Amino acid sequence: MFHYSLKITIQRLSILLLFYFGLRLAFYVFNRDTFDAAPAEQVIFSFLHGLRFDLATLLTLNLPFIIFSVLPNTTLLERKYYQRSLQIYFVGVNTIFFFVNLIDIEYFKFIGRRTSNELFSITQDLKEQASHLIIDYWYFFFITFLLGLLLWLLYKPYRPKKAATYPNWDILRILGLVVFTIFCILGIRGGIQYKPLRVSHAFIQEPAVLGNLALNSSFTFIRSLNNISLERTNYFEDQAAAARYLQFNPNKYLKASPPAQPINVVIIILESFASEYIGHENNGRGFTPFFDSLASQGTFFRHNYANGKRSILALPAILAGLPGLMNDPYISSVYESSQLFGLGSILNPAGYTTSFFHGAANGTMGFNAFTKSIGISHYYGLDEYPQAQKERDFDGLWGIVDEPYLQYVAGELSKQKPPFAATVFTLSSHDPYFVPEKYQGKFPKGNLPIHETISYADYALRQFFKTAARQPWYANTLFVLTGDHTQKTKVKGYKNDVGMHKVPLLFFHPSQKFPAYNTGKLSQHADILPTLVDYLQVPTNKLLPFGHSLLDSAADGKVLYYLEGEATLLHQDYITKILPDNRIKFYQYQLHGLKPVKNIPANVKEKYSTELKAYLQYFNNGLIDNNLYYWLPSKLPAK
């Protein structure tokens, strides 16, 4: 039916699926101990799911080959030298990436994830050890040669039966190219979902480690080319030495004893809720009357900061205790498949039902895949919102506006088996700052476009608590409220990089007072998870050293963030910065601000600069080597 050039191109590409199946099978066989805990049906599903990544890979790698195989006129396509050039490209490029997949069979044993552009960062090491590597792993080179030879032999030659029946251009050839082009576009992006296929989409199963089986190393390498790899640091001998300097004990909560009646948890992440907009933090001058009333009843941490300036940075910090100390967000970085535990991984074994609610399109910022990867069992996005209400409640751009969405969340929580731990991420107070028509003129405009939507979001929060208060689970629930990041500013005191991270943090329990040991100490997003573990008395050894329980009176408050190449550590007295050129600068800390300091004790300089270096080494090397949890077995069956 279609032009011969199109049919033979599809046949040639189809051969690659067999090669990638064989490489995945070899990867599974030689790393089988990693996947032993997975049921057979889940392993089979991983192989089938892997076809999606294989197709995206082979279409991406062979795009030039495809173009030059189907577009030229019939005369050129029938020339032997032209077809031989296509064959050389096809076999050469694909053989190189066969090699990448082969070496990952062994490399995976060391890093616990598929390889990425980190191969470029170890180029010098490869040069220095080239002879050693060739001798020890000679069989990889030999097998690669055999695979390349086999691909050459299986490459179907261009031999149309009747050239006259394949004119240069006719309606069938044009139609075929249109259909095939659409197929290629969908194949490369991985389907018609909201966001193009990414590494995190592989991690949709339990145990999460099966994501590495669904992936192929060509895909992870290609997808990482636009990402920046971290640089290894060696301030300390290893991760354990850095952790000791930070006085981190990974087993601190391992023997905790849960109470007879576990407490529910609802974390509410309020979009763009900067401290600048909160009346409780600004002598009543703000746009959040309900939040202010709640803050006066609950436990409010006055010196709280976000670990980043973007929503995509907030989730790993809040739900897994991992601040974003690099240029790329963890969720979209080359390290997104690294072993990371979080709210679900820790609370599910304690009998909690875990869920994440976000009224935006499924796949927005990779939240669905990320929450799944840290063990959160249920994800509720735009697709899960009742169809009958979707058109009415949609804001026209992002998703469901806050008031109806929070009412929906309250209803869904009433259906969940207690104890539950739910996270809700609002969205209305996001550019373009949409307020539903029926509320136009109801809220103060302020002097920034966001102010009106902050007031609307606060109103939606009030309605949520009214509904929640009538539910049987309300009296036994701890609410944690915080902003994901800051937004536009008009207040001078917030116009600095410290003030640009200042967001509220409130713990509220309707029937018991949340402990308030020291609400004046510094706090951060990364402190939320360890605080919950401490409060709920959930046994775990899956916390990271970046955050501390705010109930621990012995722990000093501190804050970490990374902005425009500068790593920053806040203490109650001084602020330490490591600049992009590795110079270290110090400032005096003041509430949501910083000021130059001339004289600082030498021992304090040494202590704070070394502490920041310890955090950076732990973060960088932990992601590079995939051993953030260095004390745990290197291969774990599940998250």
Q: Which uninterrupted H or E stretch holds 25?
A: helix 4-30
Q: Which residues contact 493 (CB under 8 A, 6 or more apart)?
A: 499, 592, 593
d(CA 235, CA 257): 37
- Tell me the whole-structure pTM to 2 decimals: 0.79
Is residue 118 packed enough to be buried (19+ CB in 10 Å), middle (13-18) or exposed (0-12)? Answer: buried
Question: What local confidence, expressed as pLDDT, does residue 112 receive?
Answer: 65
- Tell me, what's the pLDDT at 4? 84
Distance of CA 233 to the CA centre of its chain: 23
Handedness of CA 159, 164, 168, 169 (dihedral sign): negative
The Cα–Cα gap between 629 and 616 comes to: 15
Under a CB-based contact definition with an 8 Å cutoff, are residues 263 and 477 in contact? yes
- The answer to whether 422 and 415 are in contact (CB under 8 A) is no
The span from the CA of 465 to the CA of 443, in Å, is 19
The answer to whether residues 586 and 575 touch, using CB atoms and an 8 Å cutoff, is: yes
CA gap 483, 270 in Å, rounded? 5
- For strand 584-590 and strand 574-578, is the pairing parallel, antiparallel, or unpaired? antiparallel
Q: Which residues of 194-227 are buried (b: 16+ CB within 10 A; e: fewer)?
A: ebebbbbbbbbbbbbbbbbbbbbbbbbbbbbeeb
Q: Helices then strands (H, E): number in the chain?
A: 22, 14
Question: Where do the H-state alpha helices sit in 349-448?
Answer: 367-373, 387-393, 402-413
CATH (one of 3.40.50.1820, 3.40.720.10, 3.90.1150.10, 3.40.50.2300) for 264-497+523-553: 3.40.720.10
pLDDT, tens digit, 9 for 90 and up, residues 425-472: 999 998 889 999 999 999 999 999 999 999 999 999 999 999 999 999
Q: What is the reported pLDDT for 119? A: 57
**pLDDT given for residue 381 in this prediction:** 95
Evaluate whether 201 touches 332 at the Cβ level (below 8 Å).
Answer: no
Name the stretches of the chain with pLDDT < 50: 121-126, 128, 164-165, 635-639
Give the residue extent of every domain in the chain.
4-223, 264-497+523-553
Give the three-state DSSP class for 295. Answer: helix
Give me the pLDDT at residue 634, please.
61
Q: What gap in Å lies between CA 142 and CA 321, rounded to an integer?
A: 44
Tens of pLDDT, residues 523-578: 999 999 999 999 999 999 999 999 999 999 888 899 999 987 889 999 999 999 99
In contact, 398 and 457? CB cutoff 8 Å: no
Distance CA 178, CA 23 (A): 32
CA distance linking residue 351 with residue 527, whole number of Å = 22
On whether the CB atoms of residues 361 and 428 are closer than 8 A, the answer is no
